Structure 1
């Protein structure tokens, strides 16, 4: 025995066809959209609709031409295939929605794990902005108190995209947090993390990292790089920018790699900029942004407080890319005050 809903659907469909054959009024067709929803809710298959349509026409006209009746066989076969494809689509959509929920949960977990508060340090102002290209980021930055009068700043970028890259970065942050807190030199920190990365990440991935140690008592900045983007140093006295250049293999390539540390004395109002390649590889309509053009963007905003400065730089570089990031974007600014 048919369900009441199915019977009601068939009667409504019959009424639509008979009225339309009699009046040819397009207003009658508008009710089909609502009826289509009812068919889906009641799991009425496309082939059932075709059979229903044929039976109504045969009732309407007992002398229905044979070729019209036979043509429904072709339509019926098409709808059987369509129905199967539609069911597969619905199944895939359900799986996709479940996957999106899982990715959203993973994103929330990553944000919690990767969260790093902007430090409040006497004699130092800090600004940071980090925006993922997709839901999950392959960049991470952190600030850690490293004993008396010292604070570390870390910025890393995994070479790779998607969830595997994001989880590799989460693993590295956990390792960095485990090693932090006992004032390791930048060289030691990168060597320790390189061993972790070489053992634990896939062969087709590697990680670049900039690690700096700021001595707030003597205003000395010690830093090292594992293949990371070159930072910038702004001298308030000369109003000039210079590179914070450091060499080193990315993490995860060679377990025996060593990393050389460099030092920079920081004068009052001097600024340090550390960034990921989402900043340096900003792509405009004319191609990748040149280094001097990027410096000009900083120069225009150099007198702003660090947090406002990095935010306005991000807004500008996002605008020149038509608000479509090509990579994860992270920019950090340290200013001696």
Structure 2
């Protein structure tokens, strides 16, 4: 159980850290003990075993040297001379060196006493062997004397000096034997004894040997040889036994080391096992505590049903688990609040949908203002807001103007507040739909301190905060002329679109909410619902504005359709049929109505007049001017007037009708099939193209006549007469043909029109084919301007086709 019943006593991180620290400490302790044992084992292997191996190798070497010395002695017995003594002396020196090294290794060894015995025998063996060498030397000298020959080198050994050398060697050996008894004084004494023995031996080599006969020398040699052989047999046996004993000691030490290691590891296995069990038990207990508490949490959440509150459990003792439980409980509570809020929203959505449906219905009575439907919709939304927020007493929706605030709908007042004296004071100071000022009203102060969203996410997260000021009216310190009698708390919410734009004709809106009881403040769900309703009010206002624009656009579209039908009815439905002429005409508007115009005027004498005009601008104004132009033509007596006179009269009439910013370009020609001629005049319009055959080829010539557009200034116009032949083609067109462009920006232009006429000299209906050519040239792009084309083909008759200019009469 935790030490405190109301809070956690440790965090999961701290518990895991403590377990890790304890486990690491135990592992370190065992590791240090293991390292200490391994260090001791390494010292044993490095010192004891290595020294033992060196001793054994020296013993084996000593045996080999003794064996080699014996073999040399046997092999050289028959050879008398200096060559005989030199290899024996070398072997004796090696044996002495090996003996000294073994003596150094066995200074503090337990078998030191045994080595003293062996080293004494080795010293006696070396003394006997040196005596043997001197006897051989004397025998050699006696042999030289018996032969009466001088020896090749002086022989300076004296056999009687050997007794003195034995005394010195015995002294050196005694000092070596006392080494283990007196380690401090031995070193100096042994060094002096060894030096004395060396010098006396050198001196003995310089002294002449005593005079002995050969038989005596040989008898001594036999005796010394037997003594040396005895020493060799004894030393061989003792060294082999001692070597075997060292091998047994080495094997026993190794087995002891192994047994100690096994015992050490056997004693550590329980500790390691205990450590592992402790760690596993701690982890299992920790896991059990967590799983047990999580299962209880799962049962609680499974058994609980909303809106019943989820019961709490005692703390588990682990901070993270308890924090997780509190987080889940908080999530469940938040979900419960969201569920309640959603139920309120579902009820409100039906009302909002009905409001939007009523707002979007098509008005049959055009006298009904859009603000009437909008006011009713906003009133229903305020009523819905009051029903869903019980603490709300008064709500207003106002739009700001330059000189104050204007209500957009009737105020909402709760039944309790409506029956109070405060409401009576409020209604006496504030009339229905009364405009109020910025400084003499409560709403003016609220508008200056209103928030956009009263319930907004904090730093873009999921945690919301209240951003609207919930202020007490008595804190304002103002005495308003309007909206008197209110002394509770107010909230102001600015009504802006999602893009931050103002509403209702670029005027910002305001939602003012009044709470008569300052203690009964709205809760979180109320704040959220007020924010949602504020956005819904913005949507309704925007929808009303869009619906009003849509209704106006639909009405305008309908009117444009009628205008298009009227304008189309002013144009000839089909080109006239005249003998000897093939007439074709096409028109394509860039919009529903346009400023291009063409017409055919038949005369009673068989002539026909062709009018092609282009009004500056596009759309409805240009279309109206085409109607004016047609009416003007109808008012004139065209049969009695020449083309130039017609243009002059039309220009005079239009100057007094159209505005200064508008003008009309026009070409007017009268074709006489009987004389195969055309009289024409031009008022700033694109030239007519004349295609004729000459010298076996097609020639396209523009008929250019200078002149001002109509409706600009009072002026006269020039006129030309063109004689035509069979097969000639006349093409009237507006500048919309020249302004067509393709996707690369290339312009069709006059060159394109001339090329088209040359390519279509043998086909009929060139006007329609020109329109198809322009559609293909634009590659799907819209035409920048209205397009009009009228073509006339002369089918019979003779003429030289020379244009003639005549003065207007």
TM-score by length of 1: 0.80
TM superposition shift of 1:91: 1.8
Task: Tell me what 1:40 maps to.
Answer: 356
| Structure 2 counterpart of 1:198, from 634, 639, 655 | 655
Which structure shows the higher helix fraction? 2
User: What's the counterpart of residue 217 of structure 1?
Assistant: 674
Higher gyration radius (CA): 2
Q: Which residue of 2 aligns with 1:260?
A: 718
User: Which of residues 299, 305, 309 in structure 1 aligns to 2:758?
Assistant: 299
**Mapping of 1:33-112 within 5 angstroms?**
40-42=356-358, 47=381, 51=385, 66-112=523-569
Instruction: Name the CA shift for 1:140/1:76 in 2 (closer, same or farther; >3 Å).
Output: same
- C-alpha separation in 2, matches of 1:76 and 1:201: 53
Classify the secondary structure of the residue corresponding to 1:182: helix
Which of residues 708, 712, 722 is equivalent to 1:249?
A: 708
**Equivalent position SS for 2:792:** strand
Give, in whole Å, the separation in 1 of the partners of 2:597 and 2:542. 42
Q: 1:147 to 1:174 in 2, by over 3 A?
A: same
Q: How far did 1:51 drift?
A: 4.4
Contact 1:219 1:267 in 2 (8 A): yes
Q: 1:279 to 1:35 in 2, by over 3 A?
A: farther
- Give the Cα–Cα distance (whole angstroms) in 2 for the partners of residues 335 and 119 of structure 1: 13
Q: CA deviation at 1:313?
A: 1.3
Is 2:740 aligned against 1:282?
yes
Q: Counterparts in 2 of 1:311-330, with a 5 A limit?
A: 311-321=768-778, 322-330=780-788
Shifted more, 175-184 versus 230-239: the winner is 175-184
CA drift of 1:116 comes to 5.3
Matched, 1:115 2:431: no
Q: How many residue pairs were aligned? A: 301
Q: For 2:786 and 2:654, locate their aligned partners in 1 and report how far apart those are by CA, in whole Å.
A: 20
Alpha-carbon distance in structure 2 between the residues aligned to 1:88 and 1:275: 44
Q: Is the 8 Å Cα contact of residues 643 and 679 (structure 2) preserved in structure 1?
A: yes
Instruction: Write 1 or 2 for the structure with the bigger share of strand.
Output: 1
Deviation at 1:112, TM superposition (A): 1.4
When residues 181 and 254 of structure 1 are mapped into structure 2, their CA distance, relative to the original with a 3 A threshold, is closer
Separation (CA, whole Å) in 2 of partners of 1:154 and 1:131: 17
Q: Distance in 2 between matches of 1:122 and 1:139?
A: 28
Evaluate the alpha carbon distance shift between residue 83 and residue 131 of structure 1 in structure 2; reply closer, same or farther with a 3 A threshold.
same
Taking the TM superposition and a 5 Å limit, the aligned residue runs for 1:132-171 are 132-171=589-628
Q: How does 1:217-236 map to 2 (within 5 A)?
A: 217-236=674-693
Q: Distance in 2 between matches of 1:157 and 1:261?
A: 19
Q: Tell me, what secondary structure is at the counterpart of 2:708?
A: coil
The equivalent position to 1:332 in structure 2, one of 782, 787, 790, is: 790
Distance 2:784 2:637 in 1: 31
Q: Distance in 2 between matches of 1:177 and 1:250?
A: 20
The answer to which structure, 1 or 2, has the higher relative contact order (CA under 8 A, 6+ apart) is 1
Structure 1 vs Structure 2 CA RMSD: 3.0
Aligned-partner Cα distance in 1 for 2:602–2:645: 16
1:303-324 Cα distance to aligned partner (Å, 9 max, x none): 2212xx2212102212322241
1:135, 1:48 → 2: CA distance? 44
Kindly tell me: are residues 236 and 75 of structure 1, through their superposed partners in 2, closer, same or farther at Cα, counting changes over 3 Å?
Answer: same
Partner of 2:259 in structure 1? none
Cα deviation 1:170-211 (Å, max 9, x = unaligned): 111111123254142111010011111111111100000000
- The verdict on how the C-alpha distance between 1:35 and 1:121 changes in structure 2, with shifts beyond 3 A counting, is farther
* Residue 114 (structure 1) shift: 3.1
Whether the 8 Å CA contact 1:141–1:154 is kept in 2: the answer is yes
Equivalent pair of 2:729/2:793 in contact (CA under 8 Å): yes
Secondary structure (helix, strand or coil) at the match of 2:656 reads: helix
Other structure's SS at 2:641 match: coil
CA-to-aligned-CA distance 1:26-46 (integer Å, 9 cap, x gap):
xxx9xxx99987663355769
Distance in structure 1 (CA, Å) of the matches to 2:640 and 2:609: 8
CA–CA distance in 2 between the matches of 1:37 and 1:76?
Answer: 13
Q: Distance in 2 between matches of 1:331 and 1:93?
A: 36
- After TM superposition, the structure 1 stretch with the greater mean CA deviation from structure 2, 246-255 or 171-180, is 171-180
**Secondary structure of the equivalent of 1:236?**
strand
Q: Give the TM-score normalised by structure 2.
A: 0.35
Q: Supply the distance in 1 between the matched residues of 2:383 and 2:547 (Cα, whole angstroms).
A: 19
The alpha carbon displacement at 1:100 in A equals 1.4
Of the structure 1 ranges 326-335 and 90-99, higher mean CA displacement relative to structure 2 is found in 90-99
The answer (yes or no) to whether the contact 1:50–1:75 under 8 Å persists in 2 is: no
Unaligned runs of 5+ in 2: 1-335, 341-345, 360-376, 390-521, 796-809
Could you tell me how far 1:68 is from its partner in structure 2? 3.9
Within 2, Cα distance between the matches of 1:82 and 1:169?
A: 44
Distance in 1 (CA, whole Å) between partners of 2:772 and 2:591 is: 17
Matching residue within 619, 632, 639 for 1:182: 639
Q: Distance in 1 between matches of 2:552 and 2:583?
A: 43
